[in-house]
Amino acid sequence: MSGRRLIYFDNAATTQKPRQVIEAVRRFYEEHNANVHRGLHTLSQEASELYEEAHEILAKFIGASGMEEVAFLAGTTDALNAVADGWACRNLGPDDRIVTTVLEHHSNMLPWRRAAQRTGAELVYVDVTEDGLLRWDQLENAINERTRLVAITGMSNVTGQIVDVAEVAKLAHEVDAVLVVDGAQAVPHMPVNVRQAGIDFLAFSGHKMLGPTWIGVLYGRRDLLERMAPPRVGGGMIRDVTLDEAEWADLPWRLEAGTPHIAGAAGFAEAAKYLMDLGMEAVREHEKRLTELALRLIEDSLPEEVEIYGPRDVEERGGIVTFNVRGLDPHMTASLLDAFGIAVRSGLHCAHPLHRRIGAAEGTVRASFYVYNTEEEVRTFVDALVEIAETAK
């Protein structure tokens, strides 16, 4: 990029793909291409087996009880909307409360706002500090006996703050509320076990964890999914249809109307296997090292020139370093970094309220790390920031 070796630090937006994932997608189209659950011929049977195995692999990846609890939808946004429309709008009323936070990505904010408008439920936002850290005292006070649903991120896509969802689950379950977790940033980067954490619904995307785009997982406890309205209706999700009634198929197929992204499922499963082979603990430790190095080098080299947002303790922070160079617009900073061959994200990161709250209404620059990034790349990135900061003086 720009005549230099690419350093890709935009992993919170999407990730690059291992050869195994690309090969899995290619192999499906070249060797097994057919529709699933539609025919008795050999190709259809092979495609169906591959597709069902992908559900089993993703269920194992997050510690679900079985593939019945894992539906493939278009991604995190699609999955969260499915819960809002299919569960919240069917189960909430004017006497109920939905609790979410200012920390959220719009995908875990707007669906609950719409659900509240449709049901008359009260929507409460838990605030963050000026540093962008979740106000636990407010969270504890907000979750009361009227609360039926708590929606929270596992990790902020802006500040990188890791939320202890197991503790949130305890608070929610004490009042018989359902916990919905936006796992788009957490699931690809650290071990997540839905049963151990007490998560009721979890949404995450394939493309943020080495897999293809336009496919993700909606996990739900089986009893909750059985009471949930299908997000879409049509072919492939029914057992029987008359002119007056319809009987839905078993889980998870009732949640997957139409022809699914079969090749995407093949690549998604391969990505999950790749990460399980690496070990999610190892993935987390690698990102902690890179994040700690980046924070230390920036604070040592540019203590006055660069403002960093989010927690300083890497135990509380994922592999994201969000910052601004004083005197420079965030988009200008990103463009200058691109000239060094370094890809980062700039803007409001689909979290406008959070940016206003932390005093960065014009946006921030975000460098986000993953398994293929190195300490050498981090050092090159900080050296480029030093040169850029000089231009802003």
Going by C-alpha positions, the residue among 338, 334, 337 that lies closest to residue 347 is 334
The residue assigned the tokens 């620059």 is 365
Q: Give the tokens for residue 273.
A: 């296997």
By the 8 A CB rule, do 240 and 247 touch? yes
What is the identity of the amino acid at 248? W
d(CA 283, CA 186): 11
d(CA 295, CA 293): 6
350 noted as active-site residue: yes
By the 8 A CB rule, do 148 and 120 touch? no
Burial class for 250, CB neighbours closer than 10 Å (0-12, 13-18, 19+): exposed
Task: Report the DSSP beta bridge partners of residue 70.
Answer: 219
What is the identity of the amino acid at 148? R
Going by C-alpha positions, the residue among 84, 77, 153 that lies closest to residue 116 is 84
By the 8 A CB rule, do 198 and 191 touch? no
d(CA 349, CA 356): 12
Burial class for 232, CB neighbours closer than 10 Å (0-12, 13-18, 19+): middle
What is the identity of the amino acid at 244? D
Q: Which of 110, 224, 343, 350 is catalytic?
A: 350
Q: Give the tokens for residue 163.
A: 């939320």
What is the identity of the amino acid at 370? Y
By the 8 A CB rule, do 101 and 152 touch? yes
Q: Give the tokens for residue 136.
A: 């636990």
Active site residues: 350
